[in-house]
Each structure stands twice: as C-alpha cells, then as structure tokens.
A and B are shown apart, each in its own frame.
Chain A
Amino acid sequence: DAGVTQSPTHLIKTRGQQVTLRCSPKSGHDTVSWYQQALGQGPQFIFQYYEEEERQRGNFPDRFSGHQFPNYSSELNVNALLLGDSALYLCASSSVGGVYNEQFFGPGTRLTVL
C-alpha cells in the first residue's frame, strides 16, 4: 500500500521565481492538505483540497495557490518567492469518509530560496 508521495525531494530557487510542488495521496484517500514547516517549528497549515476545491485556507498570502486533480493528486504553487519561503513543504492526505480525522504525511519537499 503506497503512502503519500511528494516530488521533488529538494528544490533550489531564487527570489522572485515561481515553484510547483506535487503530491499523490495515500491509496483510498480523497483529501489533501498542505503544510509549511520552518526549521525548528511545527508545521503550519496552508490549505486543504477536497473534490477539486479549496475547502479551507490558513493564514498564507495569495502567492500560495493550489489545485487538486480528479485522481485526488494535488499541486502547490508559490509565486514571487521570498527568502522566507524556504522551508519543508509537507503534504498530508486523509479520507472524508473515514471514521477518524487522521492526516498522513508525505516525506516533504525541501525548498531553498536564494
């Protein structure tokens, strides 16, 4: 049973550029959430996608946008990158129909902005 997968593993960009990160949810899951984790901090919620719609958004600027595809996979896009966007970006999947609300995380994408 494949878990949550993310690509790429690492990414280096320069200020002002744009980046796209990808996530495939765990088999049987239909909901994808994205989190940003700065060094030494807990993950911060960016947004959640369900049925190809943004269902909930955290306190992040509009430079952060996303998309969910019919196969439940998802993309996170960040425009006009800032140095402060350097972080580990985590994708988590869950199931709306599940008994519990557990979110299972992928390995993350390490983004470095120079």
Chain B
Amino acid sequence: EDQVTQSPEALRLQEGESSSLNCSYTVSGLRGLFWYRQDPGKGPEFLFTLYSAGEEKEKERLKATLTKKESFLHITAPKPEDSATYLCAVQAGGSGYALNFGKGTSLLVTP
C-alpha cells in the first residue's frame, strides 16, 4: 500500500532562518510527487511537480528536490508570509489518478 510520511509535523522558524521539510514515500511506480501550500480554511495551492529522482524545481524562496525514497522542500530565508501548511502528495501507477497525501507540515515563521 502507498504511504506518504511528512516530517516534522510542525516547524517554527525565525524570519531568515532557512530549513527543510521532508516527505518520505513508499509507492509502486511513482508517476509524480506534488507539493502544495495550504492556508487555514483554504484549498491547497499547487507549488511543484517532480517526476524523477534527481529532479529539482525552484520558485522564489522554495526549492523542491526528489530522490527515490523522499523529497525535500527547502525554504531559504523565509518570511512570515511563508507561514502555512505544506502538503506532499504522490501519484502512483498502482493507485491510478488519485493523489495520496501526507498529513502535512505546519510552518510558522515569526518576525
């Protein structure tokens, strides 16, 4: 059965303090790994798709990387507006079109 585990569950950073969020996955036949940002009470906002090990994508202060077993979301010099829950999801050959989500990492960036 596909499994997605995110760590840590919660992270508190000072503004400018860089860090990384982890997403470990166990799937049969990865078709894609997706990162989303979700603000309280809102729908997830698409950030990145990664398809193969070694792939990297960047957007502003965020950089996502992928290995055969995990993905990292690196946040460089975060600002308070980066505070949100970051969700990782996988789409696997065995599960068809469904996205299988982790529970998310709740990030708080303080001034």
A interface residues (Cβ-Cβ under 8 A, vs B): 4, 6, 31, 33, 35, 40-45, 48, 55-56, 58, 88, 90, 92, 100-108, 110
Is B43 positioned at the interface, with any CB of A under 8 Å from its CB? yes
Binds A, one of B60-68, B75-83, B90-98: B90-98
A43 in complex: contacting residue of B31, B41, B97, B99, CB < 8 Å: B99
In the complex, which residue of chain B has the Cβ closest to the Cβ of A88? Answer: B41
In the complex, which residue of chain A has the Cβ closest to the Cβ of B51? Answer: A100
Chain A residues within 8 Å of B100, by CB: 45
A101 in complex: contacting residue of B41, B42, B91, CB < 8 Å: B91
In the complex, which residue of chain A has the Cβ closest to the Cβ of B96? Answer: A56
Chain A residues within 8 Å of B43, by CB: 4, 6, 90, 105-108
B107 to chain A, nearest CB (A): 15
A56 in complex: contacting residue of B32, B44, B98, CB < 8 Å: B98
B interface residues (Cβ-Cβ under 8 A, vs A): 4, 31-32, 34, 36, 41-46, 49, 87, 89, 91, 96-104
A42 near B87 with CB under 8 A, answer: yes
Could you jot down 7 A-B contacts, CB within 8 Å?
A: A33-B97, A42-B103, A42-B104, A48-B97, A48-B98, A90-B43, A108-B41
Chain B residues within 8 Å of A106, by CB: 43
Give the most central of B31, B45, B99, B100: most A CB within 10 Å: B99
A10 to chain B, nearest CB (A): 10
Give the most central of B31, B34, B101, B102: most A CB within 10 Å: B101
* Complex Cα gap A91–B36 (Å): 14
Give the most central of A33, A45, A48: most B CB within 10 Å: A45
Chain A residues within 8 Å of B34, by CB: 102-103
B103 in complex: contacting residue of A41, A45, A102, CB < 8 Å: A41
B55 to chain A, nearest CB (A): 12
A58 near B98 with CB under 8 A, answer: yes
In the complex, which residue of chain A has the Cβ closest to the Cβ of B103? Answer: A42
* Complex Cα gap A56–B100 (Å): 13
